[in-house]
Amino acid sequence: MNLENRLKELREQHKYTQDDVAGFLNISRQSVSKWELGKGYPDIDNLRRLSDLYKISLDQLITGEEKYNIQVASHSNESDHKTVGDFLWRHWWLVFPVFGMLSTWFYYYY
């Protein structure tokens, strides 16, 4: 599906008029009409605003399909660090400040 048909389809799905879309983008209704007739194309700023208006990605707006489906991290009870060893393996550098603080403490108090 080409961009002009996609723009018209999305506008009609959301029950917006050309005036509504033009008002949201701060442009003229004639510009929206030109886009839907294929006589012109929106610039990148207006494409971004259109994707915000229709709550879809730019990729979905332009091509009609989502090519890169990114999984959103969910909050679960599972931790990235399964064991103490895994934690220490990833954060080995913490050993130096901890030993530095302990040695300073022992030096002043013993």
Show the CA angle centred on residue 104, arms to residues 100 and 107, nearest 5°: 140
| Residue 41 predicted with pLDDT over 60 | yes
pLDDT for res 18: 94
Give me the phi and psi of 80, to 5 degrees please. -65, -25
Reported as a single tens digit per residue, the pLDDT across 79-103 is 555 787 777 778 888 888 888 988 9
Class of domain 3-63: mainly alpha
**Most confident among 8-12, 64-68, 88-92, 98-102 (mean pLDDT):** 8-12
Q: Which amino acid is at 83?
A: T
